[in-house]
Amino acid sequence: MTTPNTTPTPEQLQSELQAILNGPAATPPAGVTPNFHDPPNLNVVITLILTLCVSFATLAVLLRMYTKQFLIRAWAYEDYALILGWVFQLAESIPSGLITRQDGGVHMWNVQMKTFFAMQYWVNIVGILYGPAMFFTKLSILLQYLRIFVPNRKSNMFMFVGVQVCIWSLFLFYLVDTAFLIKICTPRRKIWNPLMTTGHCFNETALYLAQGVINVISDFMIFFLPMPSLWKLQMPRKRKILTMTVFATGFLACITSIIRTYYTWKVVKSSDFSYNIIVMGIWTYAELTIGIIVSCLPVLPRFFNHIGPKIYEILVFGSWSKILLRHRLRSTDNSDETNPTSRIRQPFPERSGEASTPETWKNYRHSKSELRAEYITLDEYETQQSKSAAMNGLTPPLIDDLTTKREDLEYRNENV
């Protein structure tokens, strides 16, 4: 008796492979049927949060760049570090959006295996870009600490050592983190094709957990480092508390970092990778955005002090034309003060489409009384001319001639 041949044919292998690729990426819970066509997802949530985070970060960076370029007129190393962190965040947002195109935010049992493989590729790209984005953002904050609180090493050795430890520790960690994610699989295509029989991949569980722990520790160090120096500043207590509040916004980054670490743990331990990776990504974007905003905050008050009066004028006067008219009148008043010989004033209020208010006519009466003080009547003119003639030795006929001129003027005024 012959034994049947149990070796599968190539057609059978291809059929089994297609069944695996078209099947669910994870076993569904009991009583749940996989839904590959219109499954519940987080697309709207992730798109909204990603758009808001990128928009707020971009706005903060642009305001900082404007302030440094046109108001402060000086750039420092932290500005370039911040721009690099912002650029990496923008770069990270592109593959983050593409993850949702590959069923990111959908439960694993509603994702086909072939779609899950494509998702793995973009998840790896996001992880590679995350390290530089986070490092340069934190580097910008730490370099500001050095410039503000450590004008020289001896003045604040505690702050200097703490900042240096943070900078170099973060540099080494994110360097190793990024290199590990680049070479996590050999060859790299095994990242998004786990069915390959050749090559190998490292376990990334330890890396994800270490990333979360390092982020939490570094965020709390960045939060607490400036507090002793801020408290020692010689300024009113109210202003000191306000300044500490500005720096204390970094505590929000600590909170988001803790929440992100929690969802990182869920990604590692749960089989619902496609769903939890997006929830973790939401807190990743929030952490990066808050870091960028915190880095910009020390400069933004200068911008608002500059733009605040202009916004107030817009709200009060309502239109740019009135604002320009107001500035023109101010410049005219200033020119009058600098040029004493210019005494010409407007005797009547300017005509406008708006009804005149009692305050306007009150100002008009005041201006009229001021004009009265600057001009003289004909009687006063005659008296001054008589005194001048007496002092200069004029003859009576000349005085009579002046009187005749006065009578001529009065006659003309009566006939007008």
Number of residues that make up the chain = 416
Q: Check: CB of residue 213 under 8 Å from CB of residue 255.
A: no
Q: Residue 409 has what pLDDT? A: 52
Share of the chain above pLDDT 90, in %: 41
Least confident window among 90-94, 135-139, 183-187, 238-242: 238-242
Mean pLDDT highest for which of 247-256, 288-297, 314-323, 333-342? 288-297
Q: Check: CB of residue 364 under 8 Å from CB of residue 348.
A: yes
H-type helices in 23-76, by residue range? 43-66
DSSP 176-232: HHHHHHHTSEESGGGSS-TT-SSSEE---HHHHHHHHHHHHHHHHHHHHTTHHHHHT
**Average pLDDT over the chain, rounded to whole?**
80
Confidence bin at 259 (pLDDT 50/70/90) = very high
For the record, the structure tokens of 97 come out as: 């959006």
Q: Residue 55 has what pLDDT? A: 96
Decide which of 292 and 396 is more confident. 292
CB atoms within 10 A of CB 317: 14
Q: Check: CB of residue 225 under 8 Å from CB of residue 162.
A: yes
> Which residues pair with residue 186 across a beta bridge?
200
- For the stretch 380-400, pLDDT in tens is 666 666 666 555 554 544 445
Decide which of 117 and 364 is more confident. 117
Q: Residue 21 has what pLDDT? A: 86
- For the stretch 4-44, pLDDT in tens is 556 778 777 778 878 888 888 888 888 888 989 889 999 99
- For the stretch 63-99, pLDDT in tens is 999 999 999 988 999 999 999 999 999 999 999 999 9
Q: Residue 277 has what pLDDT? A: 93
Q: pTM score, two decimals?
A: 0.72
Rounded to the nearest 5°, which phi and psi values hold at 138? -70, -35
CA-derived radius of gyration, the chain: 39
Decide which of 220 and 205 is more confident. 220
Q: Residue 353 has what pLDDT? A: 46
Q: Check: CB of residue 142 under 8 Å from CB of residue 166.
A: yes
Q: Residue 364 has what pLDDT? A: 47
- How confident is the model over 316-345, as a mean pLDDT? 55
Domains of the chain: 21-26+39-298 (1.20.1070), 318-415 (no CATH)
Q: Residue 112 has what pLDDT? A: 92
- How confident is the model over 226-253, as a mean pLDDT? 78
Q: Check: CB of residue 285 under 8 Å from CB of residue 50.
A: yes
Q: Residue 14 has what pLDDT? A: 79
Helix (H, G, I), strand (E, B) or coil at 377: coil
Task: Select from 183, 180, 177 the least CA-distant residue to 135.
Answer: 177
Confidence bin at 282 (pLDDT 50/70/90) = very high
- For the stretch 142-175, pLDDT in tens is 999 999 888 877 778 889 999 999 999 999 999 9
